[in-house]
Structures are given as C-alpha cells and as structure tokens.
Amino acid sequence: MESSLKEARSCFSQLPLGAIKPLGWLKNQLDLQAAGLSGFLSEVFPDVGPTSWWLGGAGESWERGPYYIDGLLPLAVLTENPRLFDYAKGFLQWSLESQDKSGFFGPPKNPDWWPRMVMLKVLTLYSDIDQSGKVEEFLINYFKYQLNNIESRPLYRWARARGFENLVSLFWLYDKTHTPWLLELGDKIREQTLDWSGFFLELPYKKNTRNYLDFTKVDWDFMDKDDPEARTFLTTFLYTHVVNVAMALKAPWYFYRLTKSPQDLNATLNGLEVIMKYHGTANYLFTGDEHLAGLNPSQGTELCAVVELMYSLEQLLCQTGISKFGDYLEKIAYNALPAAIAPDFWSHQYDQQTNQISATIGKRDWTNNGPDANIFGLEPNYGCCTANFHQGWPKFVANIWLKAEDGIVLSLYAPSTVSFKAPSGENVNIALDTDYPFNDKLKLKFSLNQPVWFKLYFRRLSGASWVLKLNGEKVTAVVHENGFLSLVRTWRPKDELEIEWMIKPSLKCWANDSLSVERGSLVFALPLGEKWVKVRGISPSADYELYPKSSWQWGILEDTDFEVEYGELTLQPFNSDCPPVILKASGAKVTNWQEENLSAGKIPKPQPLKEDSKELKLIPYGAAKLRITQFPIILSKDTKHS
C-alpha cells in the first residue's frame, strides 16, 4: 500500500453509503441531529426550504441548497429517515433533470461554478443509491461542458479559490472510468485555481490577516476590478479565508495526482504542520474569524472551516493512507465539532474560541466577523454554517471503515458496524463495540457464514502503546510505514478481537508559554459553567447568549499529576452537565490575566506557585461550551528561576 503515494493514486477507497452504520453514542449524535436543526431546517430557514431554486422555486440559487443536501443525504441514510431522504432526493432529482443539451445544470440565473462543485460531490454520494448509471452519465456531460467553456468563462471568486473541490468529483469519475480527457480538464481547473501547494510550502501569511489586508476595502465591486491593486487584494482575501484554507488542505494532493510533482506531494504531507505552526491553537483548529488570525487562543474559528477541515482530512486519509490524517481528524471530530453545536442540536456558533469566557453579543477582536459571531443560534453572523454544518458527523461515520485491495481498514475509532465483501467475494460483517474516545477499549466481533481470509488494517494511535487479544489470546500485529497496523488470517465465525490502547493524560505546549491537557483524541478544558439566556428568535431554533458561572483566571501546574474519573455515558456526552470522563489536575489562580474585548486577554508569563494549588476538574473540550483550554503555566516549587 506504500506504493500508491509514488503512483499518485488512491490507497484506500470509500465503502458505499450505508455499508457503515453508527452504534452507541455516535448513533445518538446522529439521531439528535435528525431530531434537531438538521431534521427541520427547511421549516425555519427559507434558504433551504421549498422555495429553493435547487427545487425549482425562485428562492436561494447559490451554495446553501447544495451545502444542506451534502449533509442531509448521508444523515437520512444513516438514520434511516424516509422523510429526510425524500427531501434530499428532491434536490438531487431537480439537479439531474435540470441538465440541458450542453451539459450545464443548476439554477440558470446563477452560472457560478462554485455551488455546482458542491452539488457534484452530493451526486457522487447519491450514485450509491441510484445505481442506474444516471449520475455517471450526468457527470460526463457536465465535465464536457466544463471542458468546452472553462477557457472562455474561467473560474472566478470562490470557484477560483476552491477549484480543487471540482477535482474531487472529477477523480471520483476518473477512478471508475479512466477517461483520458478528464485529466485534460483537471489540468485546466488546476491552472485556474489558486496555487495552494505554494501557499502550504511557503505560507506567505504568517500573522493575523489584519497585517496584510485592510478589511474596510472588502467590497466585490472593488475586488472584481481588473487592475493590479484589486487583483492583489482579492488574491490575499481568498488565500487568508479560513474556510478556503480548511478546504484547500486536500488541494495539493489532487494537484499531485495531475502533476506527479514532488512540490505538490510535499505540500500534501506537510501543509497541516505549516498552518498549525503559525495559526494553530489547542483545539487543533487554526484560527480564522473569518480570516487567518494567528496563535491567540481567544481568536475564533468558523464552523464551516471545522466541517470542511474534516472533509479534507477524510479525503487525505483515504487517498494517501497515512494515519496521521486520521489522528488529526479524530481530534477535530471529538472536540471542535461538538463544541460549536448545542447539546440539543438546535443552535450552533459561527466562531468558536479555544479560550471562550463568554458567548454574548458584543465587540470581540475578530478579523472581520460581526458582534454575534460566537453566540449559539440559528444564523449567527452569516448563514453559511447554518446550511453547511450537517455534513460533519454523517461523513465522519462514512469514513470509519475503508476498503483496501486485500481487506478492510479500521481508519477511525468509533462505535459502528461494517458490511463488506472480502477479496474472495464472501460477505463479512464486523461490529466495533466501544465507548471510545471516552474510554480506550475496543472489541471487534466478526460475523461470517464460513472462514474467510482477508487483511484487517487498523490505525495506530500516535503516542499510545497497545495490547491485542484474539479470542482472549495475545497476538502481535505487523506495523506499517504509513502508521497502520495489520493482522492477516483466515477469520472464523464469532472471532473476537480486543484492542486496548494505553493512553496517559499529558500536557501539550502551545504559543506564548501556554499549556493544554489531552488524553488520546480528547482535548480537556476547564468548564466555566453556562447560563443560557435567550436573546431572540422562536424556540426551539432561538438564539442564546452564554454567561459564565465561575471565574476563568486559572493556570495549570507544569508538573501536575492527573487522576481520571469515569462518569455515565449519557445520550449526549458533549454536555457540561454530565461529562463521561473527568481529568483532575492541579492549578492555581492567576491575578494578572485581564479580560480584553470580552475575551481572555494575553496569556500571562509563567509564574511561581504562591499559595497551595487547587484541584481543577477538566472535562472534554466539546462538552465545555465556556472554557479555558490553553492555560498559563504555574511553575513548580522546584523550578529554578533565571
């Protein structure tokens, strides 16, 4: 499997929609999502309602319809919800039927290439359900249209930043058909798209975007002008937009598939580290509110960037077969995703802060977002995330298991079942029974009609050792270069494989002498309590401000011990009322940490412990809607001061 990188082809492949089903706490997340905003959005948010142009109405004709269906279709399949499935199908049927003789499709009054890139992705998912070949034929016709028109009508605005998203469906089709002219179109799209490989290798924007861009000049009439000043301004605007960056992490890989250039491969493998070095914080996001905002944990990150980052990592994990993308993906899914969504799934934040001491309407130090960007609501700041966040969990589920040529890959750890065909053609079912990431034991139960040979790959958790037991007996696995482990054998009916990860809580260093606490895929935070105050709208999809119930100026001891305490795993584990796991650590009050712009100000320098330390009860970051995650350092009494 290591050779796929050299040959610039996909290492693993995704299973058809519905082959993986969520279990346990993860199934509850999807059920809550379907019972919340995702299941009823069309009733409270007209942009995705029955008047959408994507349903033949005269309403919204841009990205919001395709965004919503991109999450709703897999959610409907995974929760087996016919009402939601029929609603999603309406958009897909309309899109398929809207294609004219030239191959063009979608709302005719809005010819923007960008929203079509999203709908193409949804259609590739839909082809798992409508297997008539209609989707493939539709894509061929559209790509012919693009080939004939992309030079006279080049990618512009968002499509110029996001052209690689077009390549996702192009390569989906190419991998099935090997049609040579698709690569010719791919090259034209790449040439018209921003140079994301150069961006991730050099990162010209290492500081808060305010250093490079005067946001008072942001105006499409100016940015669309054909003069050098406007062109440079627009390019900077697009490169520093956090959602573009999150999406673009996969761009160098798709470019590499076209060019085979070492530059593109290098940017694929190292892009994450580069962006995190200059904009990363302890929730494993890079800041962008909504442009890149530097290393301060009081800056925010937009929810669209969270779900798009997950999608990028899913593509990278599957196509490169490199385990670190899975480690990173779990970090985002188990922390930043639930953090920005209310426990009842009826409201969300536009921007989340790593250190978030209140979520209220007021002036925060965003690069260019509005005063309501971090409240929990239906459409805080702007409605893109309202339409787009639904894809987070359903697509995560669809990537827990991947297909390899010689077997099956457990690429993400979460309670689930998978059905697939072994290389011999026999049907295999595996159930993964676990409460991971809240504890570290996993049990795989194999259901087979007869003994079947295949290779089982599973991701090595970085930083953890492990014990493997097959039917109660210790076994050893082969360790691969790409960070996966494997067991190969003739599996028997009722085989059981236990995997136990040995994960210790640890401190992690971040910018400006700050520390965070994590254990495996979970980041931990000090919860501040939350008083939810309704400010506008109609329940259940109303808008809420959150006020803290306790003080936030705490530091953590650099030599703290940890104690792990397990609680009950309830219907909604990402809720500060009932966290399923608590880490007890030692900290102390810091007196010189000021509030600035309704946020935690600059993190104070490391300071000695003056009085006795206090016990801090830390809970999963995703459960603590108000929190301190990056702490100032309290020096131990033994540290020598210079």
Cα–Cα distances in Å, from 562 out to 251, 618, 627? Answer: 40, 10, 19
Tokens found for residue 400: 């827990």
Among 73-81, 82-90, 192-200, 304-312, the segment contacting Zn ion (CB under 5 A): 304-312
Contacting residue, 75, 238, 304, 583, with Zn ion by CB under 5 A: 304
Q: How far is the CB of 388 from Zn ion (least distance, A)?
A: 6
Binding residues for Zn ion restricted to 91-110, rule: CB under 5 A: none
Q: Which is nearer to Zn ion, 304 or 317 (CB)?
A: 304
Residue 535 neighbours by CB distance under 10 Å: 14
| HEC assignment per residue over 117-140 | HHHHHHHHHHCCCCCCCHHHHHHH
Q: How far is the CB of 519 from Zn ion (least distance, A)?
A: 30
Q: How far is the CB of 29 from Zn ion (least distance, A)?
A: 20
Q: How many residues does the chain have?
A: 642
Q: How far is the CB of 384 from Zn ion (least distance, A)?
A: 3
Residues 6+ apart with CB under 8 A from 89: none
Residue 614 neighbours by CB distance under 10 Å: 12
For residues 88 and 46, the answer to whether their CB atoms sit within 8 Å is no
For helices 163-177 and 134-149, give the axis angle rounded to 10 degrees.
130
d(CA 53, CA 49): 10
Q: How far is the CB of 308 from Zn ion (least distance, A)?
A: 9
Residues 6+ apart with CB under 8 A from 339: 283, 352, 574, 621, 622, 624, 625
Q: Which is nearer to Zn ion, 331 or 348 (CB)?
A: 348
Q: Which is nearer to Zn ion, 42 or 381 (CB)?
A: 381
Based on DSSP, count helices (H) and strands (E) in the chain, helices before strands: 21, 29
Q: Which is nearer to Zn ion, 383 or 587 (CB)?
A: 383
Q: How far is the CB of 158 from Zn ion (least distance, A)?
A: 12
Q: Which is nearer to Zn ion, 389 or 574 (CB)?
A: 389
Q: Which is nearer to Zn ion, 385 or 626 (CB)?
A: 385
Burial (CB count within 10 angstroms: exposed 0-12, middle 13-18, buried 19+), residue 582:
middle
The count of chain residues that interact with Zn ion, using the rule CB under 5 A, is 3
Among 93-101, 179-187, 299-307, 565-573, the segment contacting Zn ion (CB under 5 A): 299-307
Q: Which is nearer to Zn ion, 326 or 380 (CB)?
A: 380
Q: How far is the CB of 383 from Zn ion (least distance, A)?
A: 8
Among 44-52, 66-74, 303-311, 615-623, the segment contacting Zn ion (CB under 5 A): 303-311
Q: Examine residue 499 and tell whether it contacts Zn ion (CB under 5 A).
A: no
Q: How far is the CB of 118 from Zn ion (least distance, A)?
A: 13
Q: Which is nearer to Zn ion, 21 or 121 (CB)?
A: 121
Cis bond before residue 437 (omega within 30° of 0): yes
Q: Which is nearer to Zn ion, 104 or 382 (CB)?
A: 382
Minimal CA–CA distance to 251: which of 188, 184, 166? 166
**90-107 burial string, b = 16+ CB within 10 Å, else e?**
bbbebbbebbeeebbbbb
Please report the DSSP string for 274-334 in residue order: HHHHHHB-TTSPBPBSSBB--S-TTSEEEHHHHHHHHHHHHHHHHHH--THHHHHHHHIII
Q: How far is the CB of 386 from Zn ion (least distance, A)?
A: 8
Q: How far is the CB of 481 from Zn ion (least distance, A)?
A: 37
Print the binding letters for residues 363-402 with Zn ion: x by CB under 5 A, - otherwise: ---------------------xx-----------------
Q: How far is the CB of 344 from Zn ion (least distance, A)?
A: 20
Q: Which is nearer to Zn ion, 384 or 410 (CB)?
A: 384
Q: Which is nearer to Zn ion, 282 or 384 (CB)?
A: 384
For the CA atoms of the chain, what is the radius of gyration? Answer: 24
d(CA 91, CA 119): 9
Sign of the alpha-carbon torsion through 592, 594, 599, 602: negative
Q: Which is nearer to Zn ion, 168 or 340 (CB)?
A: 340
Among 14-22, 300-308, 480-488, 551-559, the segment contacting Zn ion (CB under 5 A): 300-308
Tokens found for residue 126: 């839909």
Q: How far is the CB of 219 from Zn ion (least distance, A)?
A: 20
Please report the DSSP string for 45-65 in residue order: -GGGSTT-GGGTSSS--SSHH
Query: Which residue of this chain has its Cβ atom nearest to Zn ion in the complex?
Result: 304
Q: How far is the CB of 373 from Zn ion (least distance, A)?
A: 10
Binding residues for Zn ion restricted to 48-77, rule: CB under 5 A: none
Among 111-119, 135-143, 297-305, 441-449, the segment contacting Zn ion (CB under 5 A): 297-305
d(CA 158, CA 173): 23
Q: Which is nearer to Zn ion, 146 or 352 (CB)?
A: 352
Interaction site with Zn ion (CB under 5 A): 304, 384-385
